[in-house]
């Protein structure tokens, strides 16, 4: 039974309070009636998240939490006590505890903070921490250039955004690589742009190479279809106008236009493009 994780368990028996699910070792956990279907029967497999409820009982839910063990997320503080803060992690009737000892600089109710979730080895309960150093590092890199990755924007600097990659590494998303609004706390999909000799990881939100051009061409084609087959932007347009209308850099836009022209899908003029 893995507390803090999503797992598939079998219905072992049915009670008035719900169904009891069991793992391969026969350990049981209750899935309350509000998550049970009338069609559930002994032997059925159900995907659930296992955690401790507000009365410290081990329970299962079919709800999907915003964070699981060994992952990071940006969560909002919904309440505070003398012992710590409580975070909304997407489960009804139960908040995630962020102890005072795991905070950095204090927290404010209504604000969101980037946290890591672990299972306390003494209480067995799910706990959040803002102290990421023990969990996020670039000592042994597990990603490679051009790989698609999950990104969580952790902080902003004058040159860009520091991001957490796959809940494991630190990366940098430079502002000249961003062509849409980005905020601290955003969970995005991105790509590894390069890895330096000292294990710094540069990120991009757009796939590079031929595949990236194809994706941009598809996006531009959809934008044309959504705007009556015409866009007042072309090769002679300024980079600012291109970005404002397409959310692309001038370089990416020109490559996408070139692909669509070659495939015969559009007609291009100096400051406009239209469907053929």
72-129 carries CATH number 2.40.50.140: yes
> What pLDDT score was predicted for residue 71?
98
> What pLDDT score was predicted for residue 200?
97
Q: Hey, where are the domains in the chain?
A: 6-61, 72-129, 148-204, 210-275
Low-confidence ranges of the chain (pLDDT < 70): 208-212
β-partners of residue 51 are 59
Q: What is the pTM of this model?
A: 0.77
Fold for 210-275, please state it.
Arc Repressor Mutant, subunit A (1.10.10)
CATH number attached to the domain at 148-204: 2.40.50.140
> What pLDDT score was predicted for residue 209?
56
Domains 6-61 and 210-275 share a fold: no
> What pLDDT score was predicted for residue 105?
87
Among 193, 123, 122, 111, smallest CA distance to 151 is for: 193
pLDDT single digits (tens) 127-182: 999 999 999 999 999 999 989 999 999 999 999 999 999 999 999 999 877 877 89
Architecture of domain 6-61: Beta Barrel (2.40)
> What pLDDT score was predicted for residue 227?
92
């Amino acid at each position: 039974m893995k507390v803090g994780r999503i797992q598939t368990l079998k219905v072992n028996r049915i009670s008035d309070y719900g169904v009891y699910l069991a793992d391969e070792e026969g350990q049981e956990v209750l899935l309350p009636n509000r998550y049970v279907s009338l069609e559930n029967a002994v032997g059925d497999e159900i995907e659930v998240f296992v955690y401790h409820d507000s009365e410290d009982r081990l329970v299962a839910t079919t709800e999907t939490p915003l964070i699981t063990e060994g992952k990071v997320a940006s969560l909002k503080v919904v309440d505070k006590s003398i012992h710590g803060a409580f975070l909304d992690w997407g489960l009804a009737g139960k908040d995630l505890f962020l102890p005072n000892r795991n905070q950095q600089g204090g927290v404010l109710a209504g604000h969101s903070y980037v946290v890591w979730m672990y299972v306390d080895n003494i209480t067995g309960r799910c706990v959040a921490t803002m102290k990421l150093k023990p969990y996020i590092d670039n000592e042994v890199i597990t990603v490679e250039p051009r790989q698609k990755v999950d990104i969580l924007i952790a902080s902003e600097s004058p040159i860009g955004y520091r991001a957490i990659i796959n809940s494991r590494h630190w990366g940098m998303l430079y502002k000249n690589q961003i062509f849409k609004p980005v905020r601290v706390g955003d969970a995005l999909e991105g790509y590894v742009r390069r890895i330096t000799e000292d294990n710094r990881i540069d990120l991009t939100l757009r796939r590079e190479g031929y595949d990236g051009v194809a994706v941009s061409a598809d996006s531009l084609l959809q934008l044309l279809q959504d705007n009556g087959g015409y866009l007042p932007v072309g090769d002679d347009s300024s980079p600012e106008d291109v970005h404002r209308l397409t959310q692309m850099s001038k370089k990416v836009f020109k490559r996408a236009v070139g692909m669509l022209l070659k495939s015969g899908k559009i007609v291009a003029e100096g400051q406009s493009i239209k469907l053929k």
